Amino acid sequence: MISERKHQTAATIVDTFRKGETDPVQVLESSLRRTASSESVFVTFTERRARAEAEASAKRWRAGQPLSALDGVPIAWKDLFDIEGTVTTAGSAIFLRKRPPASADAEVVLRAARAGMVCIGKTNLPEFAYSGLGLNPHFGTPHNPFSGQSARIPGGSSSGSAVAVASGVVPISIGTDTAGSIRVPAAFNGLVGYRSSSDRYSKAGVFPLAPTIDALGPLAHSVQDCIAIDAVMTARDFIQSNEIVSLVIDDAILEDPAIEEDVRNNLEKVVVRLQDAGVQVTRSRLKSLHSALEVIARFGWLGAAEAFTFHSDLLASEDAVGIDPSVRGRLETARQMPLTTLVRLIWARKELMAQIRAELGHRILILPTVGQVAPELAPLEKAARDEIDRFLSVNFAVLRLTMAGSFLDMPGVTIPTGFSSEGLPTSMLLAGLSGEDDRVLAAAERIERIVCS
């Protein structure tokens, strides 16, 4: 077994409701007790709403009339999602002071409520969701539960969302992913994370970073739970598939010196196990993937131009001094991006998305989610203050592989592959073509059954 789950999945919680062994109120109380030790994980709690939703759900279960397969399950939302009566801070102290409370739930939050899920609050993130490391000087940085003697970063930007699940506060949380912000924290915290195709879910009421590339998705303990919440957020049932899973590995990615030995070895062990179980695995170089990596390294990140444009008024205001310097610095680097560079990025994205469609076909790409385990927190906190170039270098290294997938709008599911010699989680990423989320989720569910059995 790759990793032993320490906490219940949403599916197992619902099973206890069905058997009458517990009820949503008791589960909520357990979740709320765990928040006491979840320092810096949440920005806002919605305890009154949660209690009302749990009590209503308990009545439905007693009557044998649950609203959905997730009725009564606690859920947390990254603080980019509007929740009625709360301020959407986007991890910013400026927004906390100056933004009014949301007048309505974001569309996907509303869908979860209609399915009977219990909203316990909004989770922490780096300011404006603009970091793959997860640090936040305003609200604190959630500590990775796998930290040993030295604290490790949670990954970002869905940092609080990942730690809320990994520490057992909730079985499912919802994050956003522009360059890797679901996949990276899922990998660092030993979770399953699903980054959807950009247009799979409604983004109404979700604060953006880079609207062209932004995607939503869950962090959970199982692919099954991701499929269940996907059905809630899309308002349609998931269609099971018996399609033969065919995987492709690019050896040039695995052989990159930036991939740590434990990450590489654990992935290779999983591949052997999959092959022994009859899964077809081929090895070939995907030119489009390498071209995407080269384009990003040469011309920069398309999302940077959008993020700068979105926040340009704030950057020009007197409030700019209150922005986390590491975030402000990254935003400002896009100010001087030439128009020709931006156009090249847009052209390259369109061309490479077509190219990978031809190269990959119906196969699923398998690669490390991140080339390393979670770095220590303290040196990066220092770098964010005093060595910004080093901070940005680590940030880019952590996001490098997931950025390529985002550039190509590839839906992806992270699955744990084991642990490093230091006891830190390692992870693999299963990615498919834009819009083929159902195929990716179905493949991930089958692969998880094999590697976690």
Residues with catalytic annotation?
78, 157, 181
Specify whether the CB–CB gap between 203 and 176 falls below 8 A.
no
**CA–CA gap between residue 429 and residue 192 (Å, rounded):** 10
How many other CB atoms sit within 10 Å of the CB of residue 343?
10
What residues contact residue 10 under an 8 Å CB cut-off, 6+ apart?
Answer: 70, 73, 171, 172, 220, 225, 228, 229
Write out the two tokens for 409: 């709008």
* Best CA proximity match to 125, nearest among 76, 167, 169, 75: 76
Specify whether the CB–CB gap between 248 and 286 falls below 8 A.
yes
CA dist list (Å): 327 to 277, 324, 337, 434 = 45, 5, 17, 29
Specify whether the CB–CB gap between 267 and 273 falls below 8 A.
no
**CA–CA gap between residue 364 and residue 431 (Å, rounded):** 6
Kindly give the interhelix angle for 10-19 and 223-234, rounded to the nearest 10 degrees.
80
Query: What does the CA dihedral 92, 94, 98, 101 come to, rounded to 10 degrees?
Result: 10
